[in-house]
Structure 1
Amino acid sequence: MGCDGGTIPKRHELVKGPKKVEKVDKNAELAAKWKYCALSQEKLRRPIVACELGRLYNKDAVIEYLLDKSAERPNTEVVGHIRSIKDVKELNLTDNPAWEGERRNAKGDCYEDMHRAMFICPVVGLEMNGKHKFCYLQTCGCVFSVRALREVKTEICHKCGDPFRDEDTVVLNGSKEEQEKLQKAMEEKRAQAKTGKKSKKNKVVETASKPLELEVSSEPKSMAMNRESSHGSSSTDTAPGPSGSSKIEKPIVTAGSKRSIQDMEEKSEAYKSIFTSHSSAKRTKSQMSNWVTHTPYHF
Structure 2
Amino acid sequence: MGCDGGTIPKRDELIRTKQKPEQKDKAADLAARWKHCAISQEPLREPVMACELGRLYNKESALEFLIDRTKFECASSFEHLRGLKDLKELNLTENPSYSRPQSMKGDGYVDIQDTKYICPVVGIEMNGKHKFACLWSCGCVLSDRAMKEVKGDKCHKCGKPYQPEDVITLNCANEEVEELQSHMTQRRLQQKLDKKSKKAKKQKLETVPSESSLESGPSTSKQPKMEKPVTKDSKLTNGNKVSKVVANGSQKPSNGIIGATVKNPLGTSLDLPTSGSIQKDPKTSATYKSLFTSSDKAKNQMKGHWVTCNPYWN
Counterpart of 1:97 in structure 2 is 96
The AA in structure 2 aligned to 1:47 is: P
How far is the alpha carbon of 1:216 from its aligned partner? 5.3
Matches of 2:217 and 2:70, distance apart in 1: 58
Counterpart of 1:85 in structure 2 is 84
Counterpart of 2:134 in structure 1 is 136
Matched, 1:165 2:162: yes
Matches of 2:106 and 2:150, distance apart in 1: 41
Q: Aligned in 2, Cα 1:55/1:261: closer, same or farther, shift over 3 Å? A: farther
Matches of 2:143 and 2:167, distance apart in 1: 11
Q: How far does the alpha carbon of each residue in 1:14-43 deviate from its partner, in whole angstroms, 9 at most, with x for none?
A: 976544322233343223211111111122
- What percent of counterpart residues are identical? 45
Matches of 2:285 and 2:177, distance apart in 1: 100
Q: Aligned in 2, Cα 1:212/1:77: closer, same or farther, shift over 3 Å? A: same
Matches of 1:20 and 1:258, distance apart in 2: 118
Deviating more after overlay: 88-97 vs 150-159: 150-159
How far is the alpha carbon of 1:259 from its aligned partner? 5.1
Q: Aligned in 2, Cα 1:157/1:214: closer, same or farther, shift over 3 Å? A: closer
Q: Aligned in 2, Cα 1:212/1:57: closer, same or farther, shift over 3 Å? A: same
Counterpart of 2:59 in structure 1 is 59
Give the SS at the match of 2:57. Answer: strand
- The answer to which structure, 1 or 2, has the higher relative contact order (CA under 8 A, 6+ apart) is 1
Q: How far does the alpha carbon of each residue in 1:243-291 deviate from its partner, in whole angstroms, 9 at most, with x for none?
A: xxxxxxxx985699985678xxxx9834554588xxxxxxxxxxxxxxx
* Contact 1:37–1:57 (CA under 8 A) maintained in structure 2: yes
Paired residues, number:
241
Q: Aligned in 2, Cα 1:170/1:5: closer, same or farther, shift over 3 Å? A: closer
Any unmatched runs of 5+ in structure 1?
224-250, 277-299
* Contact 1:39–1:78 (CA under 8 A) maintained in structure 2: no
Give the SS at the match of 1:70. Answer: helix
The AA in structure 2 aligned to 1:165 is: Y
Give the SS at the match of 2:186. Answer: helix
Q: Aligned in 2, Cα 1:77/1:260: closer, same or farther, shift over 3 Å? A: farther
Q: How far does the alpha carbon of each residue in 1:135-190 deviate from its partner, in whole angstroms, 9 at most, with x for none?
A: 1222332211121122223444443x341213333211122333222221221121
Q: Aligned in 2, Cα 1:259/1:86: closer, same or farther, shift over 3 Å? A: farther
Q: Structure 2 length as normaliser, TM-score?
A: 0.62
1:1-299 alignment to 2 at 5 Å?
Answer: 18-71=18-71, 73-103=72-102, 106-159=104-157, 161-167=158-164, 168-214=166-212, 269-273=285-289
Q: Aligned in 2, Cα 1:270/1:214: closer, same or farther, shift over 3 Å? A: farther
Counterpart of 1:291 in structure 2 is none
Matches of 1:129 and 1:59, distance apart in 2: 20
* Contact 1:40–1:75 (CA under 8 A) maintained in structure 2: no
The AA in structure 2 aligned to 1:65 is: F
Q: Aligned in 2, Cα 1:127/1:19: closer, same or farther, shift over 3 Å? A: same
Higher normalized strand content (fraction of residues)? 2
* Contact 2:117–2:126 (CA under 8 A) maintained in structure 1: yes
Any unmatched runs of 5+ in structure 2?
224-261, 274-282, 293-314
* Contact 2:91–2:139 (CA under 8 A) maintained in structure 1: yes
The AA in structure 2 aligned to 1:38 is: A
